[in-house]
Amino acid sequence: MNWQPMVRRVAFGLLIPFVGVLLAVALLLGRLAQGPLDVTGLSHRWGGALTHIGGGTLQWERMTLAWQPQKGGHSSKLLLQLDNIRFIAPSAPIQHIEHVGFTFKLASLLRGTVRARSLEVQGVNVTLIKTLQGRVQVAGMGRNARTHHRFGGDESFASLVPYHMDVRDLHLTMLDEAQPDASLVMSMPEMQADYEPQSGWRGQFAFSLQGPGLVDGTERGTVQIKGDIAPEGSGKSHWHFTLSPMRLPALAPWIPVANEQKKGLLVANLPLAFQLEGQFQQRGVLGAFETLSGTVDAGAGEVIRPGKMPFRVSSARSHFTFGPAHADKPEPWALALHTDLTALDSHEIPVPFVIDAHGEMDHLQHAHNVSLTVDGKVAAFDFATLASVWPEGAARGARRWMTTNMTAGRGDHLRLILYFSSTTGLAGLDVHALDGDLIGHGLNVTWLDNMPQVTGEYAHAHFIGPETLQIDLQHGHIADGKGGMVLLPSGRIILSDLLHHEQMGEFSLGMEGKLPPFLYILSAPRLNLLARHPVDPATTQGEMKGTFTIKLPLKKHFSMKELQFGAAFDIRDIGIAMPGIDHVQQGWGRLSINETSLTIKGGAVFRGLTVAGSVFDSFQSNVAGRLLLKADLTAPLGVAEFRTLGVPASIAQPSVLKGKAQSHVVYEQYGLGNKHKRTTAHLQLDLTPLAVTASFWQKPAGADAGLTGTILWENGQLIGLDDVQVHGPQIALKAEGRVRQGQVGGVHLTHFQLGRTEGNAVLDWPLKGDLTARYQANIQAELLDLTPWWGKKKGQPVAKPPAGAGKSPSKSRTSFLPAGTWKVSLEANKVLYGKEKTASHVIVRAQWTAYHVTELALHVRQPNPLAFDLTPIPGQEGAYDVKFTVADFGAWLASLGIYQQFTGGAVDLEGRCQPVASGGSVTEAERTMGVGLGLPPFTGRLKIDNLALEHPPTPLVVATLAAPLHWGQISRDRFEDVQIRAAFHVAGNRLDVEDGRASNAIFGGTIKGQVDLGQEMLHMQGTLSPFFGVNQAAGSVFGAKKGSGAMAVTYKLEGSFAKPALHVNYLSAFVPAILRRLFE
């Protein structure tokens, strides 16, 4: 196949249309070059109007095209002109533009984009609408209107700027859907701007804004903006702008940007006028300012920042310059500013400010390193209104403290210098250092929140570091709120970290005065330094003088760990009352505290003790062998001091103790390293100067006697109570503590001697936290001498109840047993008691749990065998058998000093303590014996045989005369062979005698009734029968009660234990026994 003819035909087929197109274009360009080509008819043939997607139509009256070939270095251009353009939409004003002319860049058209080389606009009258959504659109364009961006994201703004612009008679009216009655009108009678590559820009413009609140209040006002641009050659031009007074917040609602972007416009709510000028260096069509200067004038208004106090301005004028820091280098840029400003404080008093600022930035458009120094001066101001004229955010740390805590007084010559810096541009600009000073007169200074103020101060404040302010104080005082005050002749306050969120305060105050005002200040809730030892300042006295230093974070809430304080005070005549210590009186000495230790040297009287010595407390780290804490205290102890320490008054009295002992306590704590410590307390009581004449021990003055002991702790845990010794005439003791788990759980008395008593003992008690609460005491004595404690001395007064005081209602006696589980045993080969009475081989054992006795035994072998046993009954919970026997009841009573006239009498008591079944009418009190042993009710029988009464009373002697067979008892001065039988019941602290009889062959009687042990009252009754042997036999024949006779009298015994009343009915002796009950 021959391809060549085919290729020639295809080539000619394509070439002919291409040549045709070129010819058509050439003809069109030639026609356009001859003059404007009117294409109105052609445009109308295509439609004559454009329908906008959002509604409405766009019309024009005339459209022309023209061509300008390349000439004079300017590229070829295509011109488009439209006249009488109108946009018509229903329910909207007609938008009209008289003339619009575009000069297109041909190179841009060939690349498929539209770029204007020049723009001419004349006679514009357009209405804009700001929608509820914040968009701005031409009135009449519906909400479906969209903005189509035809430009690529990589194209520069310079490529869009025309070289020539001529705008005349432009009027734009903006309406707001949210405020139908409001409008903003912009008028531009003229704006011309031309750009020449060699000379740069030239031109001028003038336009105005008219709207509500732009100048003053809510009234409509007009703002004028003017400017002109003059070329200076070499691509430089001089720009000059003026702006008449305008309130920027009034313009903010009309700007279609997000609220975040409007914040800057809302700050200055005051009229601002600008005059700006600068030198502009061309870089292509655009460029940048090489220098900029201007003047800003402000009228009366406020600087408002959300959440901050407004800054009220009366007037202000500021001048600034901005340009290269060095004439031969374009960068860095330097700023200089001078401002004269008059502010109004909260009392409407003018406060003049002078502010100078200078700074540098490394790059104008992309700054990284920025520095700025602001120097402000205020000649005079009132501290009470300082917060209203010190803008928030300016040196916020210093402002917060000074405006909050310096609340009254006059300030002079305030100078505040703020040093700003940033390495991240203007957005990161922040204060990094402060400087300045201030003089204050008659100041009221709050040195701590919620603390009394320092008043009447003279102060000099000055910065001693980039963020540290020092305030020197003189001639002040602190009122305690109670009418007293503490003088502050001098002082110093240092505020640091002023550029941080939280500041530190260090207060050093010279203080002197009475003690009560000091304590009122220290006990204030903010300091709360007396929380561990509360003191009522009103009960104190004395004087203090010294220096108080405290360092703490300046925030409302802080922990004691964050508090640092020191003091050095001389104290004298101190009197103070502290819970747990009682009254401290006549205190004197010196208290000092520093970075390493606390030391107190001196003395005082408290709890009747005159204590002298020193206390040392180290704050240094724990190093092996280092002394961390030491207290060395001495106190003389006499009668009054021993009473203060709790020694019973029977011992601590002048008849027993004469002279004064000397006590000495040395408490030492040493470091072991690595947080370990060992503590020792050496206790010494020298009794040598003391004379003792107690019933159980006597010692003359000068005889060597004393007490020593050592307590050991390690790491705060008790490890030993060692070498406890007591020595002296007829007294000796050696003991050591039984330490378990860091606590003293008992004591081992390896040997003790007190007077004639001698033996050893082991005592154990539960540790803290031990829920078993078990106690044990095991005492073994060769000789136990009870005589010093036996009975009361003659002449010792017995306390009487107050007049009119009655007995409380009968109730069970509260247990006198200690709480817990106890096991006590005592074995003594010999016991001395009473008036040198002796008992041999005495054994005592007792056990109780939770106030309930579970076992009790007392056995005496000689000289009068005695046995008491209370033992549990197997298989019966809470039930006990009770048995008590005495071989010679009379001798036993006599040895105890209870009663001396009984002899003989074998006692046999048996019974049982039996729990009461639940339910019924038995009260809770009646479920126990009520004698304080926690035992259930007791029921038993008592039998006493062969009891004799020595030296019987006359009635019994007369009765004996009626029994001739027993007249021998009269010569022996005895009433013999008495038998006692009784059945009784004890419950609820009440004794019920059921069947009581006492009789011999001569005389007899019966008894029954109740004894209320709680109220100490008697309610007893019975009969008395003479000639008992015969009378009883006859009585049984005639039906008398058991134990009485045919001839008997009745009686009643009633009343209190102290004054019982006996009522005897003698007539009942002549009544037959069968009727005698009527008299009972």
* Per-residue pLDDT tens digits for 72-86: 555 667 788 888 888
Tens digit of each residue's pLDDT (9 = 90 or more) over 539-568: 888 998 999 888 888 776 767 677 777 888
CA 710 to chain centroid, in Å, comes to: 39
* Top-confidence range, 518-522, 593-597, 914-918: 914-918
Tens digit of each residue's pLDDT (9 = 90 or more) over 378-424: 999 898 888 888 877 776 667 777 788 788 889 899 898 988 899 99
Structure tokens at 703: 């005889």
Beta bridge partners of 580: none
> Which CB contacts under 8 angstroms, 24+ apart, belong to 484-492?
484/513, 484/514, 484/516, 484/517, 484/520, 485/513, 485/517, 486/511, 486/512, 486/513, 486/517, 486/518, 486/521, 487/511, 487/512, 487/513, 488/454, 488/457, 491/454
Contact in structure between 1032 and 1047 (CB atoms under 8 Å): no
Beta bridge partners of 374: 357, 418
Residue 515 sits at the vertex; the CA angle it makes with 513 and 520, to the nearest 5 degrees, is 105
Distance of alpha carbon 224 from alpha carbon 203, whole angstroms = 17
Contact in structure between 854 and 877 (CB atoms under 8 Å): no
If you search the block for the tokens 């409509």, which residue do you land on?
220
Structure tokens at 375: 């120097």
Question: H or E element: which one contains 249?
Answer: helix 248-251
* Top-confidence range, 335-349, 401-415, 1051-1065: 335-349
Question: H or E element: which one contains 282?
Answer: strand 272-283
Q: pLDDT confidence of 226, banded at 50, 70, 90?
A: very high
Contact in structure between 668 and 647 (CB atoms under 8 Å): no
Tens digit of each residue's pLDDT (9 = 90 or more) over 691-739: 998 877 888 999 999 999 999 999 989 999 999 999 999 899 999 999 9
Distance of alpha carbon 866 from alpha carbon 844, whole angstroms = 12
Tens digit of each residue's pLDDT (9 = 90 or more) over 923-941: 777 788 877 888 899 999 9
DSSP of 538-578: GG-EEEEEEEEEEEEE-SS---GGG-EEEEEEEEEEEEEEE
Give me Rg for the CA atoms of the chain: 58
Structure tokens at 1079: 């008299």
pLDDT of residue 634 exceeding 80: yes
Cα torsion through 258, 260, 266, 267, rounded to 10: -160
Residue 769: predicted pLDDT: 80
CA 566 to chain centroid, in Å, comes to: 22
Distance of alpha carbon 206 from alpha carbon 540, whole angstroms = 82
Average pLDDT over residues 602-608: 85
- Spatial CB neighbours of 180, under 8 Å, sequence gap ≥ 6: none
- Spatial CB neighbours of 122, under 8 Å, sequence gap ≥ 6: 97, 98, 99, 100, 166, 167, 168, 169
Distance of alpha carbon 563 from alpha carbon 553, whole angstroms = 8
Q: pLDDT confidence of 1079, banded at 50, 70, 90?
A: very low
Buried-exposed string 69-100: b where 16+ CB fall within 10 A, e elsewhere:
eeeeeeebbbbbbbbebebebeebeebebbbb
If you search the block for the tokens 């959504």, which residue do you land on?
133
Contact in structure between 488 and 478 (CB atoms under 8 Å): yes
Residue 105: predicted pLDDT: 67
Bridge-based pairing of strands 116-130 and 164-176 is parallel
Tell me what the pLDDT averaged over the chain comes to: 82
Tens digit of each residue's pLDDT (9 = 90 or more) over 778-801: 999 999 988 887 765 444 444 444
Whole-angstrom distance between the N-terminal and C-terminal Cα of the chain?
168
Q: Which of 435, 405, 432 has its CA nearest to residue 420?
A: 432
pLDDT of residue 967 exceeding 80: no
- C-alpha distances in Å from residue 210, one per residue of 121, 129, 179, 329, 449: 22, 16, 16, 43, 52
pLDDT of residue 895 exceeding 90: no
Residue 1078: predicted pLDDT: 46
Please tell me which residue, 364 or 292, carries the higher pLDDT value: 292
pLDDT of residue 291 exceeding 80: yes
Beta bridge partners of 179: 176
Residue 19: predicted pLDDT: 60
Domain layout of the chain by residue ranges: 607-728, 899-1079
Residue 1051: predicted pLDDT: 83
Sequence length of the chain is: 1080
Residue 810: predicted pLDDT: 47
Structure tokens at 951: 């030296």
Q: pLDDT confidence of 284, banded at 50, 70, 90?
A: low
Contact in structure between 607 and 576 (CB atoms under 8 Å): no
Q: Which of 833, 952, 989 has its CA nearest to residue 898?
A: 833
Distance of alpha carbon 169 from alpha carbon 179, whole angstroms = 27
- Global pTM reads 0.55
Residue 154: predicted pLDDT: 42
pLDDT of residue 363 exceeding 70: yes
- C-alpha distances in Å from residue 595, one per residue of 437, 570, 677, 1006: 30, 19, 21, 88
If you search the block for the tokens 């070439």, which residue do you land on?
15
Residue 262 sits at the vertex; the CA angle it makes with 256 and 267, to the nearest 5 degrees, is 150
> Which CB contacts under 8 angstroms, 24+ apart, belong to 914-918?
914/879, 914/939, 915/877, 915/878, 915/879, 916/987
Percentage of the residues of the chain whose pLDDT score is greater than 90: 30
Residue 1035: predicted pLDDT: 46
Residue 702: predicted pLDDT: 92
Tens digit of each residue's pLDDT (9 = 90 or more) over 797-830: 444 444 444 444 444 556 778 888 999 999 999 9
Distance of alpha carbon 1005 from alpha carbon 286, whole angstroms = 140
Residue 881: predicted pLDDT: 94
Residue 6: predicted pLDDT: 60
Tens digit of each residue's pLDDT (9 = 90 or more) over 116-162: 678 899 999 998 888 888 788 887 776 554 444 444 444 555 566 77
Contact in structure between 129 and 254 (CB atoms under 8 Å): no
Q: Which of 53, 137, 52 has its CA nearest to residue 88?
A: 52
Average pLDDT over residues 453-471: 87
